[in-house]
């Protein structure tokens, strides 16, 4: 017991707080500082994606769909409204084609606004 | 004196957790209480059976919002045991580090909730402000404040870069200073003591009869801690004290948790200093051989237990979770008998209920 | 004709309703802002109390089945009218509307009417939370009122007058009552916190225990009036304390006197905010024990000292 019971024990901390930086972030006018590792919007390096579907298989929220027409024609569609931003797809991808970047997914009243085509792979020369 | 019945919850300004109490009150004394739970039952245990082992890591993470990491740790540990998988040491260190950071953040959050319930708004604000220090560390490490997505079967997904370690130490220094302030308030502030001492007492016998775990049990003098009694991850390589108290009231629980934060900070420093080099994960096969495993962890609220049964496919046949809140709920009837209505929020906050865990 | 016009002006503008309304909102805002700053937050913008008031006025007014409708409509008005009337006898910056021998008693009586209205509101609005809150309000009233009255009787006995403006004026030449009767001031201050139901004595409306206490079932205009009456009561209580213990405006009506009065009021408000921030809420039985075992005997000691030494 360093100090005896006192009537105003918090007072030093009150004074310190008075001169310290406020903890509040004024959100819309002050943009939030996102960590570098922040798991936000998903991006895919289209040239690396081979359409193996591992990410689709492992996604716990069923937020990814692979639409396949033939061996080299496929589309990878991301449903951001279902996405849990857990990063499992990044982990599952053997080509290191997917990344979650520190960008805030926007809000929208329209659900279809959250459907994004990540990769469109047309039949190429190979 | 006439009796009136006061409903508390599931929607109530005092209770952030969805559970419901019907308190029968005589004057300001409580004579009878009836508890009802199940408002946030989401059928998660059944959901585990419909997903692959890999997907289930994220289901486990969403059992609880506060102790998300410890749930995935318990789950991954169980699956790794079924697979007979050797987890790299560096991965275990990172895992343990997150466990301890999470304990600090959970305890600070709880301190804030308790302070708010006894009308000590300033301590509530301070506790949640200083909790941001830990959350910042975790966000920098994993990208998430509460859903870290760090654990994977066979290892972890994030790495701690060596030049990042001094920054974490600096933040822990800051938190250490703040903890000194909080400990001072808990030990010396009169109004705080007036509201928490002698409230919600549980004796050692009661604790043992109800099988209460975690800080609530330790505050009643039962020295039990899975980290020491059955070390998992790398706890056997760390030195730490198991904090206990004898009073068994809300004040003792506050003290135990505050000192546990200090212990956890020490453990974080040890982990950062000893961090071995090596790989972060070993590859896990998708199919898990048939078997049954019990995985135990020390969650911030006490012992967390996962039972996983596998039938040899890529999905678990059954996952059963036993959360630390469940036995504590049973003690509430005893704790609430004969107390002042003003002490009800203090008692409910004091045991640190996590209904999302308990209902699943 | 001119008398009537000036009387109307006095009651409606200064130092009547208009002035008190502005003061109430301003003090409320300053209090919230200061509290926020101490807690590391930003706090609301300056128009927030006014915006809240207007919003409540515009909202639908509902009462549960079983509540006494007429009483519930009347009680907030009674409460507000009482505190507004009390303000007429308290000098503001040296200016007082009516003053007569014994107006301190009237002021104290009028300031305790809201507590009664508050209790009745809890009792009549058909909700368990408000019933519990109402009975707590009454218990709290008995705990703080006696020391508060005794603390204010000290200066009156010393000056030999039961008029607020005389007590205030008597200090203009000599020492502030605060310096003569420090215990009395502390007791009156604590009593004021109890009267205003501010933290740490916000027991009847402890939100984590019983919702909003007696006001749980109130909404719309009635709630707006309740809030306003509590905020005006804060202002009136601070004025009273400054006049009785801190020497008021220092005698006469002058610009420097008014400024001085304002500064003293803000200091008392700051002290109220800091006390609110420093402590955890007490339990009603703890407050009652404190009121009768600590505050009342102390008040008695102070009174004895005043009578024996001063008289």
Domains of chain B with bracketed CATH: 40-354 (1.10.645.10)
The answer on pLDDT for C252 being more than 80 is: no
When mean pLDDT is compared across B58-72, B294-308, C146-160, C247-261, the lowest value belongs to: C247-261
- The nearest CA of chain B is from the CA of A12 a distance in Å of 9
The answer on pLDDT for B207 being more than 60 is: yes
Which residues in chain C are contacts of B11 at CB distance < 8 A? none
pLDDT of residue B5: 82
A121 or A37, which is more confident: A37
The share of chain A scoring above pLDDT 70, in percent, equals 90
> Do residues B305 and B295 lie in contact, with contact meaning Cβ atoms separated by under 8 Å?
yes
pLDDT of residue B106: 92
pLDDT of residue A5: 56
pLDDT of residue A125: 47
pLDDT digits (tens, 9 = 90+) for C47-86: 999 999 999 999 888 888 888 888 888 889 999 989 888 8
Return the partners of chain B (3 or more C-beta pairs < 8 Å): A, C
C182 or B78, which is more confident: B78
Return the partners of chain A (3 or more C-beta pairs < 8 Å): B, C
- The nearest CA of chain A is from the CA of C212 a distance in Å of 26
Query: B28 and chain C: CB distance < 8 Å anywhere?
Result: yes
Query: A27 and chain C: CB distance < 8 Å anywhere?
Result: no
B61·A86 Cβ contact <8 A: yes
CA–CA distance, C38 with B119 (Å, rounded to integer)? 16
pLDDT of residue B265: 92
Indicate the residue of C131, C277, C285 with minimum beta-carbon distance to B4: C131
- The nearest CA of chain A is from the CA of B2 a distance in Å of 39
Q: pLDDT tier at B76 (50, 70, 90 boundaries)?
A: very high
The answer on pLDDT for B269 being more than 80 is: yes
The share of chain B scoring above pLDDT 90, in percent, equals 20
> Do residues B222 and B331 lie in contact, with contact meaning Cβ atoms separated by under 8 Å?
no
- The nearest CA of chain A is from the CA of C40 a distance in Å of 5
B126·C39 Cβ contact <8 A: yes
Indicate the residue of B143, B184, B190 with minimum beta-carbon distance to A39: B143
> What is the rounded average pLDDT for all residues in chain B?
87
A8·C278 Cβ contact <8 A: yes
* Extended beta strands in chain A, E state: 42-44, 64-68, 74-79, 98-100, 115-121
C282·B194 Cβ contact <8 A: yes
pLDDT, average across residues B212-240: 88
Return the partners of chain C (3 or more C-beta pairs < 8 Å): A, B
pLDDT of residue B254: 92
Q: pLDDT tier at A32 (50, 70, 90 boundaries)?
A: confident
A86·B142 Cβ contact <8 A: no
pLDDT, average across residues B67-96: 90
> Do residues B182 and B123 lie in contact, with contact meaning Cβ atoms separated by under 8 Å?
yes
pLDDT of residue B1: 53
pLDDT digits (tens, 9 = 90+) for B290-326: 889 999 999 898 889 999 999 888 889 899 998 888 8
pLDDT of residue A2: 41
Q: pLDDT tier at C204 (50, 70, 90 boundaries)?
A: confident
pLDDT, average across residues B112-134: 89
pLDDT of residue B85: 87
Which residues in chain A are contacts of B181 at CB distance < 8 A? 12-13
pLDDT of residue B262: 92
pLDDT of residue A24: 82
DSSP H helices, A30-97, are: 54-58, 88-92
Q: pLDDT tier at B104 (50, 70, 90 boundaries)?
A: very high
pLDDT, average across residues C154-169: 82
CA–CA distance, B346 with B249 (Å, rounded to integer)? 10
The answer on pLDDT for C173 being more than 80 is: no
ipTM: 0.84
Indicate the residue of A6, A7, A60 with minimum beta-carbon distance to B51: A60
pLDDT of residue A123: 59
pLDDT of residue C70: 85
Which residues in chain A are contacts of C40 at CB distance < 8 A? 17, 20, 22-24
pLDDT, average across residues B328-343: 84
B119·C208 Cβ contact <8 A: yes
The answer on pLDDT for A6 being more than 70 is: no
Place of tokens 């007492």: B201
pLDDT of residue C1: 67
pLDDT of residue A22: 81
A91·B144 Cβ contact <8 A: no
CA–CA distance, B239 with B228 (Å, rounded to integer)? 10
Which residues in chain C are contacts of A22 at CB distance < 8 A? 37, 40-42
Domain range annotation of chain C: 2-310
The answer on pLDDT for B120 being more than 60 is: yes
pLDDT digits (tens, 9 = 90+) for B129-167: 899 899 989 988 888 888 888 888 888 888 888 888 898
A11·C40 Cβ contact <8 A: no
> What is the rounded average pLDDT for all residues in chain C?
85
CA–CA distance, C176 with C182 (Å, rounded to integer)? 10
Query: B118 and chain C: CB distance < 8 Å anywhere?
Result: yes
Q: pLDDT tier at B14 (50, 70, 90 boundaries)?
A: low
- Topology of domain A33-121 in CATH is Alpha-Beta Plaits (3.30.70)
The answer on pLDDT for A62 being more than 70 is: yes
pLDDT of residue B307: 92
Place of tokens 């005006």: C232
pLDDT of residue C238: 92
Q: Note the Cα B127 to chain centre separation in Å.
A: 16
pLDDT of residue B102: 92
Most confident segment among B264-268, C7-11, C16-20, C210-214: B264-268
A23·C274 Cβ contact <8 A: no
Report the chain A residue with the minimal C-alpha distance to residue B141.
A37
C211 or A111, which is more confident: A111
pLDDT of residue C31: 92
Q: pLDDT tier at C311 (50, 70, 90 boundaries)?
A: low
């Amino acid at each position: 017991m360093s100090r005896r019971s006192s009537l105003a024990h918090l007072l030093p901390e009150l004074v310190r707080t008075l001169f310290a930086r406020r903890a509040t972030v004024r959100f819309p006018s002050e943009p939030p500082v996102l960590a570098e590792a922040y798991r936000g919007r998903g991006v895919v390096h289209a040239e690396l994606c081979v359409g193996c579907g591992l990410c689709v298989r492992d996604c716990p929220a069923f937020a990814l769909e692979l639409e396949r027409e033939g061996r080299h024609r496929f589309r990878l569609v991301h449903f951001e409204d279902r996405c849990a931003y857990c990063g499992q797809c990044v982990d599952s991808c053997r080509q290191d084609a997917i990344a979650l970047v520190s960008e805030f997914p926007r809000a929208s009243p329209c659900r279809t606004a959250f459907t994004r085509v990540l990769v469109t792979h047309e039949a190429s020369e190979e | 004196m006439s009796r009136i019945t006061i409903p508390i919850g599931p929607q109530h300004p005092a209770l952030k957790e969805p559970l419901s109490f019907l308190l029968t009150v005589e004057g300001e004394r409580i004579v009878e209480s009836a508890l009802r739970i199940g408002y946030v039952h989401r059928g998660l245990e059944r959901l585990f059976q419909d997903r692959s082992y890999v997907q289930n890591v994220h289901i486990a993470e969403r059992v609880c919002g506060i102790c998300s990491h410890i749930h995935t740790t318990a789950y991954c540990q169980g699956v790794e045991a079924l697979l007979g998988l050797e987890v790299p040491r560096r991965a275990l260190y990172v895992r343990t580090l997150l466990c301890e950071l999470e304990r600090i953040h959970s305890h600070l959050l709880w301190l804030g909730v308790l302070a708010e319930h006894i009308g000590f708004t300033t301590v509530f604000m301070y506790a949640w402000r200083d909790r941001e220090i830990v959350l910042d560390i975790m966000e920098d490490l994993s990208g998430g404040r509460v859903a870290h997505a760090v654990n994977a079967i066979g290892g972890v997904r994030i790495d701690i870069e060596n030049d990042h370690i001094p920054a974490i130490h600096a933040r822990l220094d800051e938190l250490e200073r703040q903890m000194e302030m909080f400990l001072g308030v808990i030990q010396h502030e009169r109004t705080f003591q007036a509201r928490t001492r002698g409230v919600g007492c549980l004796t050692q016998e009661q604790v043992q009869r109800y099988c209460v775990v975690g800080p609530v049990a330790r505050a009643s003098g039962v020295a039990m801690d899975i980290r020491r009694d059955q070390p998992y991850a790398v706890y056997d390589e760390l030195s730490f004290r198991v904090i206990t108290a004898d009073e068994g009231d809300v004040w003792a629980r506050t003290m135990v948790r505050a000192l546990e934060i200090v212990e956890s900070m020490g453990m974080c420093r040890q982990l950062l200093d000893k961090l071995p080099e090596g790989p972060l994960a070993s590859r896990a096969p998708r199919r898990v051989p048939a078997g049954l495993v019990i995985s135990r962890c020390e969650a911030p609220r006490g012992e967390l237990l996962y039972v996983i049964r596998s039938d040899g496919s890529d999905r678990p046949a059954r996952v059963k979770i036993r959360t630390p809140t469940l036995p504590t709920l049973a003690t509430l009837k005893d704790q609430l008998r004969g107390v002042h209505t003003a002490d009800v929020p203090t008692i409910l906050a004091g045991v640190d209920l996590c209904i999302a865990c308990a209902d699943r | 004709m001119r008398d009537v016009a000036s009387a109307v002006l006095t009651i409606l503008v200064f130092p009547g309703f208009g002035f008190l309304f502005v003061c109430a909102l301003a003090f409320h805002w300053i209090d919230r802002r200061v509290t926020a700053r101490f807690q590391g937050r930003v706090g609301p913008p300056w128009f927030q109390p006014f915006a809240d008031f207007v919003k409540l006025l515009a909202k639908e007014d509902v009462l549960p089945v079983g509540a006494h409708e007429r009483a519930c409509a009347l009680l907030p008005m009674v409460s507000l009218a009482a505190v507004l009337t009390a303000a007429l006898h308290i000098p503001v910056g040296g200016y007082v509307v009516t003053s007569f021998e014994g107006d301190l008693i009237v002021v104290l009586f009028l300031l305790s009417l809201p507590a009664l209205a508050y209790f009745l509101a809890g009792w009549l609005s058909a909700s368990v939370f408000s019933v519990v809150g109402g009975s707590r309000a009454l218990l709290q009233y008995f705990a703080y009122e006696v020391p508060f009255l005794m603390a204010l009787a000290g200066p009156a006995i010393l000056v030999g007058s039961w008029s607020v403006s005389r007590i205030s004026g008597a200090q203009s030449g000599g020492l502030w009552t605060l310096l003569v009767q420090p215990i009395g001031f502390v007791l009156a201050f604590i009593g004021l916190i109890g009267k205003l139901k501010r933290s740490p004595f916000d027991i009847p409306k402890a939100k984590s225990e019983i919702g909003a206490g007696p006001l749980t079932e109130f909404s719309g205009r009635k709630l707006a009036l309740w809030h306003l009456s509590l905020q005006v009561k804060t202002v009136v209580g601070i004025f009273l304390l400054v006049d009785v213990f801190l020497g008021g405006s220092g005698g006469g009506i002058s610009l420097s006197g008014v400024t001085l009065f304002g500064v003293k009021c803000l200091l008392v408000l700051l002290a109220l905010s800091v006390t609110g921030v420093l402590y955890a809420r007490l339990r009603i039985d703890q407050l009652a024990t404190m009121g009768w075992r600590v505050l009342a005997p102390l008040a008695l000691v102070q009174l004895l000292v005043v009578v024996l030494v001063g008289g």
